[in-house]
Amino acid sequence: MDVQEATAEGAASAENGEVKRDGKKQFSMGPQDVLEGKLIYDGSVHADGRLEGEVRVTGNIDVANGAQVKALLEGSNVTLKGNVEGMVTARDKLTLGRNARLSGDIQVRRLQIDDGATLNGNVRMGDFEQQASGQ
């Protein structure tokens, strides 16, 4: 888990959209890229451009400033700086940056909302495994 957190930040130089950092995979989108559909990925995702559908990753999800996302997002650490519509699950921490706009229900263990962010939705906080098994 420590290794995954270490790979979260940093602009990855794209090689076919996939870059390895410290042995962990990262799927990286550029501002002109479009992804529609379902992505289940053993690694981290840097989302930019337009993303629609569903993204479930074992690592972190990072939505760039200016990105347009209509998707279900699930990851360890989720950092939003762009426009997101859909349910978000962060097994560890969800961060809404100052330019983030999120409309959708969120389920998190930890939550940080920076001043300037916009949130519309239901917030559930607690131990992730207990809430998931309870449903």
Q: Does 32 bind another protein (CB under 8 A)?
A: no
Q: Which is nearer to another protein, 12 or 117 (CB)?
A: 117
Q: Does 31 bind another protein (CB under 8 A)?
A: no
Q: Which one of residues 16, 115, 127, 133 is an interface residue with another protein (CB under 8 A)?
A: 115
Structure tokens, 37? 């559909």
Q: Does 93 bind another protein (CB under 8 A)?
A: yes
Question: Which range binds another protein by CB under 8 A, 2-10, 18-26, 70-78, 124-132?
Answer: 124-132
- CA distances, 132 to each of 89, 107, 126 (Å): 11, 10, 10
For residues 29-41, b (16+ Cβ closer than 10 Å) or e, as one string? Answer: beeeeebeeebeb
Alpha-carbon distance 49 to 40, whole Å? 19
Q: Which one of residues 30, 31, 38, 110 is an interface residue with another protein (CB under 8 A)?
A: 110
Structure tokens, 124? 């559930």
By the criterion CB under 8 A, which residues form the site for another protein? 93, 95, 110-126
